[in-house]
Amino acid sequence: MRWVRRIALAEIVWCAGLLAASTLLGGIPLPTPIVMSAFLLALPVLGVTVFAARRLEIRETGRAATSGYWLWRLLRETMPGWLLIASLLLFVGFWVVGAFYMGSSVKELGAGTYAVQNHGQWTVISKAQYLHLKAQQQRGFLSVPGGLCVAAAVLSTALLRREARREAVRPKS
């Protein structure tokens, strides 16, 4: 589980770096494979973490939980409050960046001009405005794996702490 947490923490840094790069470079969009690389790391890490948490719940109670209360109990029992608050703020920060994503459809008209649909009306924009809009959309896409990796890092940390407590309580043979 340590490797999962390390990958999740590296993914958080990767997504934050990509968000900063797409913002600081004047809104220049990043190449699509670089943006998609964030998803290639985030989805398996979150899947492994959720699977391990479900397995822990089944091992401890003998049945699969039907609600998220067991997850809240795990976090409450193993994580200090300041760490939960800090991770919640980081999670919300990623999602706030994604909230500014404009889901407008864009058509290329040719000669460096584009048409964007906003509230049912088409508006002609320049290539510079199009690049800014594309970078903004990529920031929205990058916020999703960043937020998921924050959740995976917190959950994997809680699982590691639970396992360390179980090892400390086990009688040595």
The pLDDT assigned to 71 comes to: 81
Q: What is the token pair recorded at 45?
A: 């890490």
Q: What is the token pair recorded at 131?
A: 């690049």
Could you tell me if 94 and 15 are in contact, meaning their C-beta atoms sit under 8 angstroms apart? Answer: yes
pTM: predicted TM-score of the whole model, two decimal places: 0.75
The pLDDT assigned to 99 comes to: 66
The pLDDT assigned to 156 comes to: 87
Q: What is the pLDDT along the chain (173 residues), one digit of tens a residue?
A: 778 888 888 888 888 888 777 777 666 677 878 878 888 888 888 888 888 888 887 887 777 766 677 788 888 888 888 888 988 898 888 877 776 665 667 788 888 888 888 778 888 888 888 887 877 777 777 888 888 888 888 888 888 888 888 788 777 66
Distance between CA atoms of residues 167 and 121, nearest Å: 62
The pLDDT assigned to 27 comes to: 63
